[in-house]
Amino acid sequence: MSERNPLDLKESMSDMARTATQTVDDGRKTAAERLGSAASAVRDRADQLPGGPKVQQFAHAAAERLSTTADYMRSHDAKRMLADVERVVKNNPGPSLVIAAAFGFVLGRAFHSRVARSGAR
């Protein structure tokens, strides 16, 4: 097994980080547009929902959150979003850990389900 030059390894890691950042930046534009579209759709249909004023109020609040998230994603690059996540995690370690565990569980279930379906073919 050949040893790699530490400078080559550092450069390779920097290239990977740049590629990952670019991928996130490309994806965030699409995600922001989809969130904005979802916000508009919810807002347009909120007053037609059954369940009365409380449901309609909840739908309008959800649309506003979606819209705010879309605006945030449009105006912040990947590095800034990562810095914001790091700040939130440092300020709220307990809830962050719970959210990360829940996300990992859901992601694991989805991956396991996908693998099971592809293996059943």
How confident is residue 40, by pLDDT bands cut at 50, 70 and 90? very high
Instruction: For residues 2-13, give the mean pLDDT.
Output: 72
Winning range, highest mean pLDDT, from 2-6, 42-46, 105-109: 42-46
Q: What single letter denotes the amino acid at residue 101?
A: A
16 with 68, same domain: the answer is: yes
Structure-block tokens of residue 86? 């790091």
| CA 36 to chain centroid | 14
82 with 115, same domain: the answer is: yes
By percentage, how much of the chain surpasses pLDDT 70?
92
Instruction: For residues 45-70, give the mean pLDDT.
Output: 94
Instruction: Show the domain range for 44.
Output: 1-75
- CB 70 within 8 Å of CB 32: yes
Q: How many structural domains are present in the chain?
A: 2
43 with 67, same domain: the answer is: yes
pTM of the model: 0.62
- CB 78 within 8 Å of CB 25: yes
